[in-house]
Structure 1
Amino acid sequence: MSEAYELKAEARERVGKGSAREIRRNGKVPAVIYGDKQAPISITLDYKTLYYKIHGGGFKTTIANILLDGKSIQVLPKDFQLDPVSDKPVHVDFLRVSAKSVVNVHVPIHFHNEDAAPGIKRGGVLNIVRHDVELHAPANAIPDAIDIDLTGLQIGDSIHISAVTLPKGVTTVIQDRDFTIATIVGHAAEVEEVTEAAAETTETEEKEGE
């Protein structure tokens, strides 16, 4: 897990769209801290600092300590909104956490050693079914990423979640199936076929979770 970092914040007395627009014009970003059975706190954060944290990677899997009115509040970023044109942050939601907190969080998947996969060397294509996996993990032990080694994989091989070794105390949210993470396929037509099947599976899972 990445090392926790600090964010300096100011309390936000007024809320609403008009107030939020004014905050953004002044180089700040409106945000809220919620959870842990406490009342939500509306805050503002420095735009530049937040921009680089969000676009630097690992933002939603790294603990932050928000400094507010002389106190430090430990949080995990849960959601953020970006301007669709400029990619600038316009709002962030933070969840209060503690050493005992266990959270559900989407962790990215990183693939390694494509050049050591015979199937890819022979013209096969890595078809990524899932770019991240939702994990149930202690807030202070969230993995930065799930690393997948492609060494030795042939055309037709599949990588399932059962092949992934997770840290102690960390489990997948989906427990009722050995879902596919990626496959090595032979050509573009096969990629399209597998992708369509994966989309149908994902859609089914989303409906079951509603």
Structure 2
Amino acid sequence: MKFNATQRSVQGTSASRRLRNAGRVPAIVYGGTESPLSIELDHNEIFHALRKEAFHASILDMQLDGKSQQVLLRAVQWHPYKQQVLHVDFQRVLAKQALTTKVPLHFVNGDSSPAVKVGKAIISHVLTELEITCLPADLPQAIEVDLSSLEAGATLHLADIQLPKGVTFVGQGEAANPALATALVKGGGASAADDAEEGGEAASGDEPAAE
């Protein structure tokens, strides 16, 4: 994905305010082998770009004064109540240098899972994104989570899915295998079939009442 930027020579609160009043957005790009650089963006262009999920989890092609640089979106500051972008941070990307970022999770096949079709469960997405590390060439725009085998009352963990090639989850220790989704039976507890089975076992195991 591409966006346009212009080098910004004037900095400070007053200068940033004038930029915003003129429909521009102050920003900064840092990292790599160069010094941090103050830039400015067209507000309408960056506003619409930020509404796209892929813009937040892709290597971006920044066109800066006629030259192309690869960057990654790092932070966005929004106005507290207006639909206005106040400031944007980008990080330069080097092809042979691993990067760490968050990638959205795309859950698929939930409606066809045994949890929903048989158990009438409600699938809850515990996480919506994962923090990963990988080389720029291996960065996925999203990670697909297949729910087709999820059973009622069960939880799908990170270890239950296959991460894309070259991608490593950042979490370690107890956080190395987080829950991604869980199938909650309506009303809580076990499914109706499980309740019936348990009830039948209890009844068959009871001693007959003494007369």
State whether TM-score is above 0.5: yes
Q: Is the Cα–Cα contact under 8 Å of residues 29 and 46 in structure 1 kept in the other structure?
A: yes
Q: Is the Cα–Cα contact under 8 Å of residues 150 and 156 in structure 2 kept in the other structure?
A: no
Larger mean Cα displacement after TM superposition, 42-51 or 152-161: 152-161
Q: 2:163 aligns with which of 161, 166, 170?
A: 166
Q: CA deviation at 1:46?
A: 0.9
- Counterpart of 1:206 in structure 2 is none
Q: Which runs of 5+ in 2 are unaligned?
A: 190-211
Q: Is the Cα–Cα contact under 8 Å of residues 138 and 165 in structure 2 kept in the other structure?
A: no
Q: Which runs of 5+ in 1 are unaligned?
A: 191-210
Task: Map Cα deviations across residues 151-187 of structure 1 (whole Å, 9 max, x no partner).
Answer: 1322111111112212222100013232211111113
2:117 paired with 1:142: no
Q: Is the Cα–Cα contact under 8 Å of residues 57 and 104 in structure 2 kept in the other structure?
A: no
Q: CA deviation at 1:188?
A: 6.0
The SS at the match of 2:36 is strand
- Counterpart of 1:115 in structure 2 is 111
Task: Find the structure with the greater CA-based Rg.
Answer: 2
Q: How many percent of aligned residue pairs carry the same amino acid?
A: 34
Q: What is the TM-score of this pair, normalised by structure 1?
A: 0.82
Tell me the amino acid that sits aligned with residue 166 of structure 2: G
Q: Is the Cα–Cα contact under 8 Å of residues 60 and 79 in structure 1 kept in the other structure?
A: no
* Distance of 1:86 and 1:189 partners within structure 2: 41
2:51 paired with 1:55: yes
Larger mean Cα displacement after TM superposition, 80-89 or 38-47: 80-89
Larger mean Cα displacement after TM superposition, 40-49 or 180-189: 180-189
Report the RMSD for the aligned CA atoms in angstroms: 1.7
2:36 paired with 1:40: yes
Aligned residues: 186
* Distance of 1:59 and 1:188 partners within structure 2: 39
Q: 1:83 aligns with which of 79, 100, 110?
A: 79
